[in-house]
A and B are shown apart, each in its own frame.
Chain A
Amino acid sequence: MNSIAFIDLSTRQVVVKSIPEKLRLQYLGGRGINMYLLYNYLKEGVDPFSPENPLVFGAGLLTGTHGIATSRFNISAKSPESGNLGDSNSGGFFGPELRFAGYDHHFITGRSPSPVYLWIHDGKIEFREADPLKDYNLPQTLDTIRAELGDQGAEVAAIGPAGRRLVVFSNVMCTIGNAAGRTGMGAVMGSKNLWAIAVRGKQPIEVAHPERLLEVVAKQYRQITQTKGYKATALYGTLMRLSIARTQGQEPAKNFQYNMLESGGEEFDPDVFIRKYEYGKMSCFNCPVHTKHLHRVPAGEHKGLTGAGPEYGGAGYFGSSCGTGDWVTILECWDLCNQYGLDILTTAGYIAWLMELYQRELIDDSMTGMPLRWGDHDAMTGLIHQMGRREGFGGLLSDGWQKANARFFGEKAKEYERYIPTIKGMTVDQDTRGTKAMAVGAATATRGGGCHLRSRFTMEEMDLPPEATKKIIGRPVTSDPDSYEGKAYPAIWMEHLCAIGDALGICRFVTKWLSPGLLGFNEFTETVNAVTGYDFTSEKLMEVGERIYNLERLFLIREGLDRKDDRVPERFHEPWQYGFQKGSCIEKEKFEKLLDEYYQEHGWDEQGIPTRETLERLDLAEEPSHLL
């Protein structure tokens, strides 16, 4: 326990190092220590598919401990999808078992000469032949490995056929419904011939104050399950967002061309989904919110199709963004992606892009081999098969949208970039035109796609009076989501909350990221101190969050990014057409002013580079410091 296993796949050498207390105090664990390791070990200019790209699996400091939703782990590396920071987070049970198996982080380098999977159990690390898995899809891979190891209690994180083929937006999954989706970590595993990691163990995680922890967790359990929103969250899971997006007029429709799908229909509703297709709910480790939907298609061409999902991203982006409200189409696309091991958001984003190009007659049947009309089920599933197999027209996207765009349009490629809404190289996961704090948080997010999990100040659209936000985050914020005023600080506050959540291994859905009544810095502090015996305060924790975020910023700068990359997609400068925020958009001048304010609040210069003073305050001035 409290150690990192450094595993070289080329030589099969393993070195185990203890995590120094300084690293725990400054970065906690999970995403925090992953980022530290990546920044220190990754050399400039490394190809994401080379053996030199370090792949880091990291469980949070609280992952696996008695607590609420203490399930999560991060996978980090240089990303083949964005070309910059690769970092993906997942729930399920792999994170906790990773720790019970004896280590907190796996730092993996090299490339195995033949396909392998790691079998890590009670401290022992074995390399097992993975080639027999080559014909299996991702869920089959999970089952087969468990069966082969003879242990149904083993947890497995694996790639599917797409990851084995190095499709740049391949994911890693550890249950039928939990994925480390974005930034192509599955492809990095594929490039290392590492097809899975299986973990199992009975190594206890030390708790400094067990009685205190029991009390703290009892309190938090009541806090979470007694909030007004708990019943709805427990019923709808992330599909809650579907209804909210529709009523607020934020439904991404036809590749973000519109903010509502007129033809969406009454069926495109989470209640319909639950009634017709859901057969149960699945939880992650230690979580009473159980948001994962277990679905089965009961009749028709796809009768008997089962899977876990969809999440809001799948429903919204295979749904309205691809011009359909048909659940069977959405479920089939979702399940196909999970079978191949393809990231849902990127896959759906690419399909919507292609449909828009087809709509604008910039690509045609002679290129695509099939009509790509909005909402066409056969087109959508056909493209997923092609992307996952690197075949046909869809296969042209397997190396990412930039290469496909260049290939389609040559000289006009740059001009036509505006048809695919991206931030920092990846398709976006939210439309932030009507919420300015979310917009600046997305534009500057240290993970591509304007990642809503890096910073999404959800309180912005809850119509909270400024006195209320002052109580929660320390400063009053106008209740008008369209206003730019004072929106930098809340975006940054949320960055810290998200970074700490990931460093601890706690799921967003039990925190103030979702709703003001849920867990925040005070609760995190109580739990951390009970488990570790440390003396954190909320302020000290916030500073850790700030440190992690600044280190990620340094990573991006080292990869050549700066102010020019902190932007919303061009399309977001055009106004919304529908709903009560009709007319909302991001105005360029006002956004630049907000960005200036954001940099100032962060202690960065006008290019968004952390100043020497900021780095010294956060003890980052000597990075890379090579503490390990």
Chain B
Amino acid sequence: MKRIITRAERCTGCRLCESVCALFNEKVNDPSRSRIRIVKKHSLGLSAPVVCHQCKKPSCAKTCPVEAIKKNPDGLVWIDQELCIGCEACVSACPFGMMIALPEKVVKCELCGGDPQCVKYCATRAIEYADAASEAGEKRLRNIASLNLPSHFVE
């Protein structure tokens, strides 16, 4: 299923993804409210994007005491804010740190209702709305790039 896949080696750390996420989803100009996060190694100028994996067996949903976190048939993992009590158990449970604890609620990447905004602003394609498996075929092909015809076929 499609989710936001990341390629850290391409990230330049511009944080436009955080900027548009916060404004689009929270209607405020405050990147600390973004559901996608850029982490940095300042001394080397390197950055990497981190975002919800929309796990097949989401730890967040498993941990939720009020069953507020649900997984749709299309794969999306989302929080029913009507049910959420803000206990932050999911914040501790998520192995990627991608349950976002805001002062008044907990939020997560919900793919902007099917049309994720962040990926539209990534100039280097360090994030992309795609199926991670879509790259698998390409990667497998790389393994035969070095193969040639058997030597006894060559004149």
Interface residues of A (CB under 8 A from B): 64-66, 93, 96, 100, 139, 142-143, 146, 152, 175-177, 202-207, 210, 213-214, 217-218, 221, 225, 234, 280-290, 292, 294, 306, 308
- Interface positions, chain B 3-38, Cβ under 8 Å from A, are 9, 12-16, 19-20, 22-24, 27-33
- The answer on a CB contact under 8 Å between A282 and B13 is yes
Complex contact B42–A210 (CB within 8 A) = no
- Chain B residues closer than 8 Å to A292, beta-carbon distance: 45
A-B contact pairs, 20 of them (CB 8 A): A66-B22, A100-B30, A139-B43, A146-B42, A202-B32, A202-B33, A206-B29, A207-B23, A214-B24, A217-B20, A221-B120, A234-B123, A280-B45, A280-B46, A288-B16, A288-B121, A290-B14, A290-B123, A294-B44, A306-B44
Would B15 and A285 count as touching, CB distance under 8 A? yes
**Chain A neighbourhood of B39, CB < 8 A:** 152
Chain A residues with Cβ below 8 Å from B30 are: 100, 202-205
Are the CB atoms of B45 and A177 closer together than 8 Å?
yes
Given A66-B20, A281-B12, A290-B14, are A221 and B46 neighbors across the interface (CB < 8 Å)? Answer: no
Q: Is the CB of A207 within 8 A of B46?
A: no
A286 close to B45 (CB less than 8 A): no
Considering the chains assembled together, what is the distance between the CA atoms of A96 and B15 in angstroms?
A: 11
Interface pair A175/B14, CB less than 8 Å apart: no
A176-B45 in contact (CB<8A): yes
B residues near A93, Cβ cutoff 8 Å: 15
Since A100-B32, A176-B45, A207-B23 are in contact, a sample of 19 more A-B pairs with Cβ atoms closer than 8 Å, ordered by chain A residue number, is: A65-B29, A66-B19, A93-B15, A96-B31, A100-B30, A100-B31, A143-B43, A203-B30, A210-B23, A217-B20, A234-B123, A280-B45, A281-B12, A284-B14, A286-B14, A287-B14, A288-B16, A288-B123, A290-B124
Within 8 Å CB of A100, what residues of B?
A: 30-32
The reply on B40 being an interface residue by CB < 8 A is: yes
**Which partner residue on chain B sits nearest A290 by CB separation?**
B12
Instruction: Write out the residue numbers on chain B whose beta carbons fall within 8 Å of the beta carbon of A289.
Output: 123
A202 to chain B: which residues have CB within 8 Å? Answer: 30, 32-33
Of listed B13, B22, B32, B39, residue having the most chain A CB within 10 A: B13
Interchain CB contact under 8 A, A213 and B23: yes
Name the residue on B nearest A218 (C-beta): B120
B24 to chain A, nearest CB (A): 6
| B19 and A225 contact, CB distance less than 8 A | no
Identify the closest chain A residue to B103 (Cβ). Answer: A202
Contacts between the two chains (Cβ within 8 Å), count: 94
| A207 closest partner in B (C-beta) | B29
Shortest distance between the CB of A286 and any CB in chain B (Å): 5
Query: Which residue of chain B has the shortest Cβ distance to A140 in the bound complex?
Result: B43
**Given the contacts A100-B30, A202-B32, A286 and B19 also touching, CB distance less than 8 Å:** yes
A234 to B10, CA, bound (A): 13
A280: chain B residues within 8 A (beta carbon)? 9, 12, 45-46
* Set of chain A residues within 8 Å of B14, measured between Cβ atoms: 283-288, 290
Q: Is the CB of A205 within 8 A of B29?
A: yes
Chain B positions 113 through 155: 1 when the CB is less than 8 Å from some CB of chain A, otherwise 0: 0000000110110000000000000000000000000000000
Give bound CA distance, A65 to B29, whole Å.
Answer: 6
Interface size grouping (class) on chain B: 20 to 34
Q: Which residues of chain A are near B19, meaning CB under 8 Å? A: 66, 286
**B23 A66 Cβ-Cβ under 8 A:** yes
Q: Which of B20, B29, B44, B47 has the most CB of A within 10 A?
A: B29
Q: How far is the CA of A66 from the CA of B40 in the complex (A)?
A: 20
| Given A283-B13, A286-B14, A288-B123, A152-B40 contact (CB < 8 Å) | yes
Q: Shortest Cβ distance from B126 into chain A, in angstroms?
A: 10
Taking a contact as CB atoms under 8 Å apart, the answer to whether B28 and A207 are in contact is: yes
In the assembled complex, which residues on chain A have CB atoms less than 8 Å from the CB atom of B22?
66
B20 A175 Cβ-Cβ under 8 A: no
Q: Which residue of A lies closest to B30 (CB)?
A: A204
Residues of B within 8 A of A143 (CB): 42-43
* Distance between B6 CB and nearest chain A CB, rounded to angstroms: 16
Question: Which A residues lie within 8 Å of B44 (CB)?
Answer: 176, 294, 306
Residues of B with C-beta under 8 A to A287:
14, 16
A306 to B44 Cα, complex, angstroms: 8
Residue of B nearest to A139 (CB): B43
Interchain nearest-CB distance for A209 vs B (Å) = 11
Q: Which 4 A-B pairs have the closest CB atoms?
A: A283-B14, A288-B123, A204-B30, A290-B12
Complex CA–CA separation, A177 to B40 (angstroms):
14
Bound-state Cα–Cα, A221 to B20, Å: 12
Closest residue of chain A to B40, judged by CB? A152
Chain B residues positioned under 8 Å from A285 (CB to CB): 14-15
Q: Is the CB of B121 within 8 A of A221?
A: yes
Q: Which residues of A contact B9 (CB under 8 A)?
A: 280
A176 touches B43 (CB 8 A): yes
Q: Which of A139, A204, A225, A234 contacts B29 (CB 8 A)?
A: A204
B23 near A282 with CB under 8 A, answer no
Give chain A nearest CB distance to B98 CB in angstroms. Answer: 16
Q: How long is the Cα–Cα vector from A306 to B43 in the complex, in angstroms?
A: 9
Which B residue's beta carbon lies closest to that of A230? Answer: B123
Residues from chain A with Cβ under 8 Å of B24 in the complex: 214
In angstroms, Cα B32 to Cα A203, docked, is: 9
For the complex formed, measure the closest distance between the CB of B127 and the CB atoms of chain A, giving whole angstroms. 13
B contact residues around A66 at 8 Å (CB): 19-20, 22-23, 29
Smallest CB-CB separation from B44: which chain A residue?
A: A306
Q: Which residues of B contact A214 (CB under 8 A)?
A: 20, 23-24
B residues 31-87 in Cβ contact with A at 8 Å: 31-33, 39-40, 42-47
Q: Quick one: which of A142, A213, A225, A282 has the most chain B CB within 10 A? A: A282
Q: Are A286 and B16 in contact (CB under 8 A)?
A: yes
* Whole-angstrom CA separation of A204 from B34 in the bound complex: 12
Chain B residues near A217: list those with CB within 8 A: 20
Measured CA separation A139–B27 after assembly (Å): 36
Bound CA span A202–B40, Å: 18
Complex CA distance for A283 and B18, rounded to whole angstroms:
14
B128: min CB distance to chain A, Å: 15
Minimum Cβ distance to chain A for residue B94 (Å): 19
Bound together, the chains give a CA A280 to CA B48 distance in angstroms of: 12
